[in-house]
Every structure is written in structure tokens, then in C-alpha cells.
Amino acid sequence: MSLTSPLHDRHVALGAKLADFGGWQMPIEYPGGGVLREHAAVRERVGIFDVSHLGNARVSGPGAADFVNACFTNDLGKIAPGQAQYTMCCDEESGGVVDDLIQYLISDDDVFLIPNAANTAEVVRRLQAQVPQGVEVVDDHRDWGIIAVQGPRSAQVVQALGLPTDLEYMSFERVDRDGVPVIVCRTGYTGEKGYELVVPADAAPGVWDELVAAMAPYDGLPCGLGARDTLRTEMGYALHGNELSMDITPNMAKAGWAVGWDKPEFWGKDVLTAQRAEKSCRLSTGLLVTGRGIPRKDCRVLDAQGQEIGVVTSGTMSPTLRQGIGLALLDRGNPPGTAVTIDVRGRQLEAEVTRPPFVQTDVSG
């Protein structure tokens, strides 16, 4: 039985196409144009997404930030309270990625985590297994709703609710809105300027309704996870289970920028450091289809001689480019511009290795 978001009734009322996502029944698209129309709304104007399936966990107590920093890859010491940071929870033995998540530094004694839906329980389990005395790790997955407001007009929409918008990218502010605690985060997964609003689950429907009304003057749209996926793929953003997994390390995903290599410790440091020095693993890159067709996950990538050199991890039709695009793990020695073939169920698609993003945006604007 799939879990449902606190906004489930709103999606049903709008006629959304629903599907299981990470164990949650979530909207994939809405009537009236579907993914293409929703994608365009975010790139050109504004859209809102229910992302309440994303996890929530709290690590609190004396030294909470130091504990988290000794577990996850990125270096919390590089940010200050009120800032957020992308990081990864890796397996100690293999270096594979258990999950990628955002960590919000509230104080040295309080860290708020947003993992992916299907991985929240495992991340919490691993933290609880090593938590020092005096520090508490709590899974708050069902207590909060999360609504993403994304697109060039996102600031105007959030401002209409009386919420702060003058935030630096990857920062957040906690506010009290008529007695309701709201965390306004300058984050997102679309490549456009945007915000994510973390609100108590019982307050989420009211906030959703206000956002729908506030974005109406800009022709904004409720958007499903289908558009969220095409938007993130155009940016080359990794999706856990595709570009990151227990078999795909941060090095392979070219996510070394989110690893505090100089930190004394984090889970998987030894194996990841050795892999980084060896420089032999496959690397994630982009594929731009030069003809007609769409690459699909797990399709083989072949070189000019027909030899397999990699595998597609994500593929879609780019609504912006009107062209097939994909992300793939490829053998080293295939720089941008290299011609390759993608084997899609026996059909050969010609493509070119490229460096994401496929579409230029201004996420920090």
C-alpha cells in the first residue's frame, strides 16, 4: 500500500495522473497539457510541485553537526547556520551511495535532513546505529509537507504569501506564519530559480491553495514528477537509483565536488579516496541524440566499432530542445564530441557525448 502526501486530495481533485514513487502515491502529470506544458511553465514562468514524498529527519543534541559531518561526504564546516548543503550518505565498505540528500545546518546542535523518499529509513537507521550519547536521530517523514515553487516568477509567488525571498542560493530561513512554522529554502531540482517550503503536514493543503492563487496571474501551473524529471535531466542533475546507487560512487557520478576530501573521516572515505587516485572507473556524462529517438535507462552505449563502452542511466525527450538526451556511465577516453551509438531494444540511435547541462539557466539569479 503506497503512502499518500498531505496534498493527495488536491491532486485527486485536479484529476492528476497518479503513480507509485518511492513508495508514495504521487502526481506524475495533470490534465491540460501534461509534462510538456508543465515543463514549459517552469522554464518560462512558474510551477509548483508537491515533493512531500521527500524524507525529513532531525539530528539534534550536543555535537550533532560534528556527528553528521563524520558520517556524510560534504563538509558542514564550510557552511554557517542558515545554509544548506548537498551531500551523500555512502556505504563504508563499498563507497556506493546509500542516498544523496540536503542537510540544513540550523546550529551546531541541530541539523535537518531531507533524504529521498525510499531511502529515508535506511539513512536514519545508519545514523542511529552510530549515534553518540546525547544526540538523537528522529525520522519526521510523515510530519511535514514540502512544496517546491520553481521558475523565473517564483519569488513573486512566494512573496505573495508574505514569506521571505531575499535568500542566497542554498540558504534558508525559518519563519512563523500566523502560528505555523515554515522553513523557506532557496533550493530546487529544476535548474531554475526557486524555493522549497517545508510546512507542517496539516498546514500543507492551505499553503498549496494560496500558492495556486498567487501564481495564477503569471499563468503558473501545478506540476507533476514527470516534469520534475525532464527538468532535472536537462540540467544533468543526478537521480538516486539512476546516476547514483550502491553500485555508482560519487567519483563515478562526477560528484566529487560534494565530498570533503580533507575531512578526517566520513563513511566510505578510504575506498573512495583509493578509487579517486586510481582513475579507472567509468564516469557520468551527457548524451545528445543527433537524430530521432529517445535513450532509455539501461540501454547499452557503443563506440564506432560496435564495442560497448557504457550504459545509459537516464533518458528522455528534452521538451526545451525537442531532442533526445540522456545521462550515461561511460568508459574514460570519450570526451565531448565523441560520436556513439545507443542500442535501444535493437534500434541504433546516433548520439554525441556532451557535457551537461543541456540547457543554460540561472539557478542563482
pLDDT tens digits along 29-80: 999 889 999 999 999 999 999 999 999 999 999 999 999 999 999 999 999 9
Spatial strand order of the sheet with 17-21 comes to 3-4, 24-29, 17-21
Q: Is residue 273 situated within a structural domain?
A: no
pLDDT at 2: 85
pLDDT tens digits along 194-208: 999 999 999 999 999
Residue 317, strand partner residues: 324
pLDDT tens digits along 300-345: 999 999 999 999 999 999 999 999 999 999 999 999 999 999 999 9
Residues 107 and 228 in one domain: no
Number of domains comprising the chain: 3
Where residue 132 falls among pLDDT bands split at 50, 70, 90? very high
Which pTM does this prediction carry?
Answer: 0.97
Q: Is residue 185 situated within a structural domain?
A: yes
Residues 101 and 149 in one domain: no
Residues 149 and 41 in one domain: yes
> Distance between CA 79 and CA 63 in Å, rounded?
16
Residues 30 and 153 in one domain: yes
pLDDT(242) > 80: yes
3-state secondary structure 328-345: EEECCCCCCCCEEEEEEC
Residues 92 and 156 in one domain: no
The CATH number assigned to the domain holding 288 equals 2.40.30.110
Share of the chain above pLDDT 90, in %: 97
Q: Which residue has the higher pLDDT, 22 or 225?
A: 225
Residues 44 and 159 in one domain: yes
pLDDT(363) > 90: no
Query: 3-state class of 68 per DSSP?
Result: helix
Q: Which domain holds residue 32?
A: 3-51+142-235
Q: Is residue 297 situated within a structural domain?
A: yes
The CATH number assigned to the domain holding 78 equals 3.30.70.1400
Query: Is the backbone peptide bond immediately before 356 cis, with ω within 30 degrees of 0?
Result: no
The CATH number assigned to the domain holding 210 equals 3.30.1360.120
pLDDT(365) > 80: no
Residues 119 and 173 in one domain: no
